[in-house]
Every structure is written in C-alpha cells, then in structure tokens.
Amino acid sequence: MDKKKRYFYIVMGPVLLCMTVLLFSDVLTVSGAQAIGVCLWMIFWWGTRPVEIYITTMVPVVANALLSIVPMSDVVSQYSCESVILLFGSGLLTLPWAGIGLDRRISLKALALIGPSMKSQITVWLLASIVLSNMMPNLAVCAMLTPIAVSMLHIAGYKDIKTAEPAVPILLAIGWGVTLGGAGSPLGGGMNISAISYLEAYTGQEFMYIDWVVRLLPYLVIATVVLLVGMMMIPLKVNRIEGTKEFFKDAYKELGPMKQAEKVCLTMFLLATIGAFTRPLFVDLLPGLTPAYIFLILGFLNFFITASTKNVLLNWDSAQAGTHWGIMILIGGSLALGQLINGSGAGAHLVAMISRFSFHNDLAVVAMVVIFTRLITEITNGTTASAICCPFVFGFAAEMGINPIPLWFITTMAFNAEFVLPLSARAIPVSYGLDTEKMMKYGIPMTLINVVLVIAFGYLALEYWPAFGVLSLS
C-alpha cells in the first residue's frame, strides 16, 4: 500500500470517531456516540487494512482509556474470557498434530476419494473443507488443505497456479468451504465462540453445544448442496486431472501405519468433542466443566504425555509458536467492542431508532437481520459481524417483544459464509495464486444465493419449527 494512502487511512479512523461524536451525541448520548465512533473506526480499518486486523482489535482498549466510555475492567476482561480460553485450549489440543502428521493423515484419507474429473475434485475438496472446519478453526483447515491442493496441481503439471484453470474452482472450494463449514458446530471458528458468549451473557445460562448441531445441521446440509450445485455451474475449460487419486494414495502410504502419538492425540480430541456435545448429561454433577475447560484440561495434558518417542507431545516453545494469538485477540477485541456498544447504551438507542420502522411480518425481520449481518461479514469477517450483530439482535428482539433465540441462530447462519473478498481464511488461497478478481466474480452470485437461502430457511424454521427457538436449559 502507498505510504500516503496508508497514513490517510490511519488518520481517518480517529476522524470517524470525532465526526460521530460531533454529529450524533444528541441522538445517542456522548458515550453512545463515542462507542459507535469506535465501531466505525474499527470497521474502516478492517476494510482498508492500513494496519493488521489484530492491531485494530486493540482499539477498544486505547479508546476507552482516553474516553472512559465504560469501566475499563468490562473491556479488558473480554481478552481473557471463556471464549478465548476455549480457543486456547483447542489449540493446545491440536498443536501436536502437525508435528506427528495427524492433520495430514486425516486430510489425505479424505482426499484419496477424489477421482480425476473436475466435478469429483470440486465435490471432495468442498466436502473435506466443510467437514474439517466443523472441528477445527477455519484458518487452520484452509492453511492445511491449500498447500496440499497446490502440490497436487504441481504433480498434475500445473506449475503456475495463477494461470492454472483447475486451480480456480479447487481453491475456491477450500476457501468457501471452510467458512460455510463453521455453521455446523460451535467449534467451527471464533465467530461462533463470540456469538455463544453474547447468548450466555443475555440468557444468564450456559449454552449446550448439542442445541447448535440439532438446529443448524439441517441448514448446513442444504447450504452445502446449494453451494456445490452453484460451483458446478462455474465454467470449466479442463474436465479431468489425471493422476490425482494416485497422488493422494501414495502420499498417504508414505505416512506409514498410524503411530501411537497420533492415536493418543486423536483419542483426546474425540474425548474433548464428545465431552463438549454431551455436556447436558453432566452439567449438574460438574457445573464448572464447560467445553472451554474440557479442551483446556486435555490440551494441558499434552505437556506431560509422551508417546512413540521420549519427548512430550507438546512443549512450551511449540505452544508459543503455534498458538493463534492474533485470533484470540481478535475475539477479545470483538467482544470488547460489543461491551462498548452495549455498556454505553448505544445499542439500545440504535435498536429503538430501527424499531420505529414498520416491520409488518417475520419475513421482513429475518431479511433485515440476514442482510445486515452478511454485509458486515463480507466487508470485515465473521467474528466482527458476530460482535456487532448479536447484541443488536438481542436488543431488537427485546424492543419488539419477540423471542431472540431464533434470530440469534439465523444470525449465526448469516455470518458463517464469506465468498467475495480475499479476507480472513480466503486470503490463504489468494496467497498461493488464486485470482482475486475471479473470487469476486464468482463470489458475488454465491453470496446472493446464500443470502436468499438463509432468509428462506430462517423464516421457515421460525414459522414452522417450534423447537428452533427453545434451548435445553430454557
């Protein structure tokens, strides 16, 4: 980025804050206008990228230290909340995978199903991305699968990824699949963890992960089919890639038999996942053992367990180097932004203003929530959309006197899909050579299709599925 443009973007962030305070203090109160100004500042920086997105997530602390919008403890506590602990614990649990080859074994086993046709390629890469991102962070899955796809294309004779026709649908399948797959499980990414934090704060009760799967798995299945059909309509100049199935089978054989360390790591991950989703069975017996601490405890054990070698599965140097500190700060900063908006009263004022518009039916409400959420998601990221939209949904539902739970689930569907810009996980395929113009060209219609799907599914669930708006502990 040009230095002058970068400095201009940097300065424009605080300028947006000042302008918001000057123009809207009478409407939102001074503290409310300050909070909205901080929100606009962060959205602008996330969109223009004069600094890393993780630097932007520290703006709430900086702004609140200068303006005292809400008590500082309310802001800084978000950077070490239970959601951050869950991400940290799940990271500790899966960090040894790369060193022992478990991540590669799982992905190669799935990809060995690929046939030579491009339709088979698109199908398996998309499904592998979606399934794996149900269990692992989107960035981790995308970072794992993209280089494997590039290696496969190199073996098939496509040395220049930027000009390789088969690379476009394959890399799009990975980039799009990991974002959609997050809808299948609370473990699918930081945006889900953030959303659950807001829900638990609103209800005052622990959220059961099984509630998520029961309500959103039908949507994920339908959305996967729709996305797959849409991807099959992308024009293909190459219909077959020979030798790919043999490539994956040979690569899998090179790993040899499953090692003891892999079995131990996979078992512990399955135990953590089962524990998280069967939480209702032991919530009364162990009220403090929430999913965050299940993952943290089992991840903690990696520092003590030795398997196959004399070395422990994980040491601190590896943990420090492999932990996604930036994503943890991103979640904390997004939650801190939500604290500013809610604690200042800005959220309530905005909801009251929006509620004055006439929403004649549930379809209009669902459409408004979905379009607003997707707009924020596509220009920033899912975690940011979660932080901005979840408090809005709860406030709007309270103002309108309706059950917020269905709207919350609909919101999670809306921010678990990103197609257009090379941001977040989608930046990884672009870094390997995927053309950003083609991502936007094919991403815009995919976004419109997905928005219509979320609105339709959300509305039908709201109208005809009574359990959609009821939680286990309600």
| Residue-wise DSSP of 336-383 | HHHHHHHHTTHHHHHHHHHHTS---SHHHHHHHHHHHHHHHHHHS-HH
Q: Is 240 in a helix, a strand, or coil? A: strand
pLDDT of residue 333: 84
pLDDT of residue 357: 63
pLDDT of residue 9: 93
**pLDDT tens by residue, the chain, 474 residues:** 788 899 999 999 999 999 999 999 988 899 999 999 998 898 888 778 898 878 888 999 999 999 999 999 989 998 888 878 887 888 888 888 878 888 778 777 777 777 778 888 899 899 989 998 887 777 778 877 888 888 888 877 888 888 888 889 999 999 999 989 989 888 887 788 889 988 998 898 889 989 999 999 999 999 999 999 999 998 888 777 776 677 777 888 888 888 888 899 989 988 988 888 888 888 888 988 888 899 899 999 999 998 766 788 999 999 998 887 877 887 788 778 878 887 888 877 776 776 666 556 889 889 989 998 998 888 777 877 888 888 888 888 887 788 999 999 999 999 998 888 776 677 778 878 888 888 889 999 999 999 999 999 999 999 999 889 888 765
Contacts (Cβ under 8 Å, ≥6 apart) of 33: 20, 21, 23, 24, 25, 27, 346
CB 105 within 8 A of CB 337: no
pLDDT of residue 37: 93
Find, among 441, 288, 342, the residue nearest to 74 by Cα. 342
Residue-range domain boundaries for the chain? 52-469
pLDDT of residue 52: 83
DSSP state of 161: T
Find, among 387, 272, 282, 284, the residue nearest to 329 by Cα. 387
pLDDT of residue 255: 84
Find, among 288, 270, 269, the residue nearest to 279 by Cα. 288
pLDDT of residue 423: 67
